[in-house]
Amino acid sequence: MGTTVGTTVYADPVAETMRFVGNQPRTVAETRVPINLLEDLALKILYLTGELSLSQLANRMQLHLGVIQEIFEHIRKEQFVEVVGLVGTVHRIVTTSKGQAEAQSVMARDMYAGPAPVSLSAYVEVIRAQSVMDVVVHRPDLQRAFENLVVSDSMLDQLGAALVSGQSIILYGPTGTGKTVLAETLPRIYKDSVWIPYAVEVHGQIITVFDPLVHKSRQEAMPGECDRRWVLCRRPRVMVGGELTMQLLDLQLNPALGYYSAALQMKANNGILIIDDFGRQRIRPEELLNRWIVPMDRRIDFLTLAGGNKFEIPFDMIVAFSTNLNPASLADEAFMRRIQTKIKVTYVNYEQFHEISRRVCAKAGLEYDASVVDGFTKVLADLHQPLRACYPRDIIQHICWKAKYEDVQPLFTLDAIREACDRYFLGPSSDVETT
């Protein structure tokens, strides 16, 4: 089945996106990266690894053998390497004493020894070519992505319209209503793939971008002739909560290694960045909002290298804020205007509570009983608790934990629910002694 880009349907989505990164460059000039940087990278890899064939060096740098041959001729002329043998017709090389000294000098500046980087201009071109704003989704896509959750049609339609816009959204409402789960599920809507570079070269500096903890690789689907400095991945989903600091929004320079890790939003480009528990971060909401008011409006961001050089990158992502605080207390009108979609996520209704309970029981291996759920809702009413979407999962977990402790089969009964609620909810304040 194909994918839709704009109004055109392509039978082979991977083949279509190949045009974004192109075939492997065959010459140093085609890499769009300075030759001295590639030479330094080759020397570092050789110094750290020892003897390598040119083919092995090409694999480590993710470059075509023709590019490696060109690099080899340069560093051989400088007497940094020497040939120690052949594998078929391919040279095996090692660093000379002069090359080792040069490698040590280079590594004193930076110790990056991974795949060759792409140029900043190439990075910008590819990010814009596969923009999240160009993805078209429809109601069946939302229904398929959220089929494991109990979500109303009206909520799906609001989320779908927000995704089509490519603009940022805020999910707000009381605790336990499923805002975080909704935000986490949003990336499932995307069925296409995007290209993420291993690293980007900016003003002679290396910035690593591909992060296996964030980017879900689809290397098995990569065409053999593509530029191997890029990794085919699912659209990124980056999620942060209370640990978010201003430092994460800037380039991370590792002083011991001498190269940078990409900022949070750079890793999230072409995908979704989820700010969970917005308003409870280690930075004040207005600091974050002031940092992003221009990027969210103009869809560009500016990052700064340690030497003070600033450069521009696309800010191409949907930022999904999730909060149980009043949004009006977190941001002024100017910023809230830039969050085009505000979706209130409230308590579930009686039928939804039953359906969630049924699904949680099935997942836990318990026998669902509608009369027990009716009793569950009455227990909650007696405790002056609304029907939160999280309660079936949380209370049934308590039932299973207790049964596991007692080494018995868990049972979904009203008595078990009452006992679990006693452990789950805070008692009246009068029951707690104060000093």
Classify residue 135 by its DSSP letter. B
Residue pLDDT, tens place only, 307-336: 889 999 999 999 999 999 888 888 777 778
For position 242, which CATH number holds? 3.40.50.300
Boundary-marking domain end, from 90, 115, 140: 115
Residue pLDDT, tens place only, 188-234: 998 889 999 999 999 999 999 999 999 999 888 888 889 999 999 99
> Residue 3: what pLDDT?
43
**For residue 8, is pLDDT > 60?**
no
Structural domain boundaries enclosing 329: 121-344
**Is 204 a member of any domain?**
yes
**Is 327 a member of any domain?**
yes
| DSSP line for 325-391 | S-GGGTS-HHHHHHS-EEEE-----HHHHHHHHHHHHHHHTPPP-HHHHHHHHHHHHHTT----TTH
| Same domain as 75, residue 140 | no
Boundary-marking domain end, from 328, 344, 360: 344
**Is 6 a member of any domain?**
no
**Is 7 a member of any domain?**
no
| Same domain as 242, residue 102 | no
**Is 5 a member of any domain?**
no
| Same domain as 318, residue 279 | yes
> Residue 302: what pLDDT?
95
For position 37, which CATH number holds? 1.10.10.10
**For residue 348, is pLDDT > 70?**
yes
| Same domain as 155, residue 235 | yes
| Same domain as 386, residue 257 | no
Domain count across the chain: 3
| DSSP line for 227-271 | -TTEEEEEPPEEEE-TT--GGGGS-EEETTTTEEE--HHHHTTTE
230-234 vs 193-197, strand pairing mode = antiparallel
Boundary-marking domain end, from 76, 92, 115: 115
Distance from C-alpha of 56 to C-alpha of 88, rounded to nearest angstrom? 13
| Same domain as 279, residue 388 | no
